[in-house]
Structure 1
């Protein structure tokens, strides 16, 4: 299992040929504050890398959730839709947003590893 990060503060988790799991980072949920609503994409919809795939709203702000890789949405986290606070309490576990069948898995290789993401967030 490998986890990579985007500069838009999404994380992706890969494990073999399983769909790629996507969520927002601990840094993102810290910046947003208490999450009160999530708008998740439709299963079966395809997105290009960088497109807006959803929205997360908190008591402080709303933020777009960008597609970290190109692909088709194969599952969304209905538990998160029912309880948006999972994005705060377990952002890299039960608070995942959606799963993607990648069009080009090599796009994952270009994402940041944990060390590079930590440096990025420290500098911004």
Structure 2
């Protein structure tokens, strides 16, 4: 296990956890865009839980590699889905935001091999 893998994985987990916490707490910078994109409020807790599980899975992957790979795949798919949701809502200037969160998950996935 390389130092780069550990650093990227911890950063990715921290970013996903921050994103999950901001959604769980209903931070305006997270909640307002979701409402603008048309994401139903009833989904928000589930989406936050998915991000939190991904963050925990990335950290667990430092000890059980297959868990980290599965968590990274899940987070990449989650944030790609978020980018598609943003694009479908025609907020093209916001598409980069979910991709920024996906980047460390992609890097963690690449460095895992």
What TM-score do the two structures reach when normalised by structure 1? 0.27
Which structure shows the higher helix fraction?
A: 2
Q: Which has the higher contact order (CA 8 A, sep 6+)?
A: 2
Which structure shows the higher strand fraction?
A: 1
What TM-score do the two structures reach when normalised by structure 2? 0.28
Larger Cα Rg: Structure 1 or Structure 2? 2
